[in-house]
Structure 1
Amino acid sequence: MLLLTRKDVKSISQESWKYKVFHEFESIITDPLKSFPYTLGVAGFAADQLRFAFIDHDVMSASAAEQLAATLQTFVPISRSFGKNTSLVVFFTENRAIGTEGYKDIFWSLLNKLHALDSRQWPATIPRDSNDKDWEFSFAGEPIFVVCNTPSHKVRMSRYASTFMITFQPRWVFDGVIGKNAPNADKIKLEIRRRLHIFDSVSPSPDLGTYGDSDNREWKQYFLGEDNKQQGDCCPFHHHSSAQRPTVQQTGIVQLPIAIHRLLPPTGSVEVQVDTPFRTHTRHQHKTDETLHIVKGEINFQLDGESILCKAGDRLLLPANTPHASTAGEDGCLYVIATRLVLERNVQRREAEVAHV
């Protein structure tokens, strides 16, 4: 998926909703008379380290979730190359006046769908219990702090946007800045709260805290309401076992140039592999995620006593450290390999159909 810089967005037609919502976002975050509270985001915008994406689909549709997943799949592996203060800011067309509770439901529904589309295993260092002090939403193996802004936020303006908006900030952005053992953490927190008192018409939420503190629950900061009523302990996020399994997509793409183009990263390369009839690759595993797009022929993958047959047009999403072997079909197999998980939009998607062997 395409990740846009400030310059890229500025080249969009000024009549487009994308240009308009970005222009408003820019005016808010750079207003010299009313400093935006979240200083890392301000610094990232000034240094052109933020990346932007726009989703036209209905926010509750499967297509919107798949496009969001594909965008994150592109962003996460190369995020460090954008700079220390990077984040991914995603704008949706949704702008109805449905109240913050309505948008809260949309947000958590979308985050759950996003998690279900993640074929990478949940990081071993991040607890699965959302009420653990060290829990953090994660995608593509990366812990990520998530912030939601909506058109219905009128009092807590630090969470306002003219359309539904989600910001994904990798946890490593905070390393050495905010959190335990960060030398200037207290000073930065005080500055953020000072700005919140000025920026918002309501005092800072009691759910705001510091990651890792015993009384902090990170998920409560993702979506803040207009009032300061504290949230309960029932997190709307739920883990999906399918997020840790190999996944097959039926794309229908059997043209080699198109398959290569779809799997190419913004910078880098892919591998084109040809296996002769019945060629076997013995059991092995990779430290990185892999996507294998079958262009011609068939190939049978063996994973922990299970068999997955992939035909032309199929795409296998193989999470890192998944032991597997493969045998090409009677006509051999031609396929493209990318060292990341690349989801195709608007296609049939299923957990890998397996047969015990």
Structure 2
Amino acid sequence: MGLYTAAQHDEYSRLSWERDALQIFHQKMTDKEYLFPCIPATQGHSLDHFRYGFVGDPRKNSTVNEFAKLLKEYTEKSKQIGKYTSLIVFFETPIELSQEYDVEQFEQIFWQLLSDISSIDEKEWPKNIPVDPHNPIWEYCFHHEQYFMYCATPAHKNRNSRHFPYFMMAITPRWVLEQFNENKSFAAKIKENIRKRIVAYDSVPIHPDLNTYGKEDNYEWKQYFLHDDESSLSKCPYHRFLKLIGKEKK
């Protein structure tokens, strides 16, 4: 287990599900007819700035340690990779998980994983980031790095931009997003094109929770895991889990 480039994984992997997940992901990023909405993601993929990790069944306790170790390693190396870098994590997804779990059940798994790896984070929560997810400048942090989290699942059907046959996460450092937004006119044009692509890619309207970090009406946690319709949770599950595990900072 560790970080891989796509070429390294092709060379070293012996697990068929890992090869399958990476191949499907590659096809999704490079499809010229059915354009994946996130343009910076397709650039990161084409420039080989992505790093890939493979961990176990997301319901298993052992996977928490695997995931935390992977994210720590990536955090320590990400700034040497490239300006479009993200960590793509594929989880082993048995048939009963992919076929029987619905979107809400995957949502519970997602937030439980984020809460569980927080409980073994070796570093304190950054002082400049509030601990309350209902603050507009809150975002997920691990190993003292700020991250935007994206989750895709087999259960998403209408929102194809959040569908993947394996449970997966794409994890992007805040500094990558800040660099992208430095040229405001360029970033605005790209975001406009992204929204156009989403309309063509999904069979449901753009989710109302998609917004911009730092705006007063924006909550990052709502964008991490989008429902397959236009609904959303009223309270962030991570906030509740932090209280339960005693990690909420005063």
TM-score, normalising length: structure 1: 0.64
The 8 Å contact of residues 176 and 183 in structure 1, kept in 2 or not, is answered as no
> What residue ranges of structure 1 are gaps of 5+ in the alignment?
245-357
How far 1:125 moved relative to its partner?
A: 1.1
How far 1:12 moved relative to its partner?
A: 5.0
How far 1:60 moved relative to its partner?
A: 1.8
Aligned pair partner of 1:200 in 181, 202, 208: 202
Q: 2:112 aligns to what SS in structure 1? A: helix
The equivalent residue for 1:75 is 74
Instruction: State the Cα deviation string for residues 176-224 of structure 1 (Å, max 9, x = none).
Output: 4238x73323212111100001111111100000000110000000000
Structural mapping, 1:320-331, within 5 Å = none
Q: 2:237 aligns to what SS in structure 1? A: coil
Output the aligned Cα RMSD.
1.8
Instruction: State the Cα deviation string for residues 295-329 of structure 1 (Å, max 9, x = none).
Output: xxxxxxxxxxxxxxxxxxxxxxxxxxxxxxxxxxx
Aligned structure 1 segments of 4 or more residues deviating by more than 4 angstroms: 12-15, 240-244
Query: Distance between the aligned counterparts of 1:154 and 1:42, measured in 2?
Result: 21
Query: Distance between the aligned counterparts of 1:230 and 1:69, measured in 2?
Result: 27
Aligned pair partner of 2:152 in 149, 153, 165: 149
Is structure 2 residue 142 aligned with structure 1 residue 139? yes
The equivalent residue for 2:118 is 115
Q: Taking every aligned residue pair, what percent have the same amino acid on both sides? A: 37
The structure having more radius of gyration, on CA atoms, is: 1
The 8 Å contact of residues 115 and 243 in structure 1, kept in 2 or not, is answered as no
The equivalent residue for 1:25 is 25
Query: Distance between the aligned counterparts of 1:189 and 1:148, measured in 2?
Result: 19
The 8 Å contact of residues 12 and 19 in structure 1, kept in 2 or not, is answered as no
Query: Distance between the aligned counterparts of 1:151 and 1:80, measured in 2?
Result: 31
The equivalent residue for 1:49 is 49
Amino acid aligned to 2:193: E
Is structure 2 residue 181 aligned with structure 1 residue 178? yes
TM-score, normalising length: structure 2: 0.91
CA 1:243/1:9 → structure 2, altered by over 3 Å: closer, same or farther? Answer: farther
Instruction: State the Cα deviation string for residues 70-127 of structure 1 (Å, max 9, x = none).
Output: 0011000110111000000010112422111110011011111011110201011111
> What residue ranges of structure 2 are gaps of 5+ in the alignment?
none
User: Would you say how many aligned residue pairs link Structure 1 and Structure 2?
Assistant: 241
Query: Distance between the aligned counterparts of 2:27 and 2:67, measured in 1?
Result: 25
Query: Distance between the aligned counterparts of 2:22 and 2:126, measured in 1?
Result: 33
Is structure 2 residue 231 aligned with structure 1 residue 229? yes
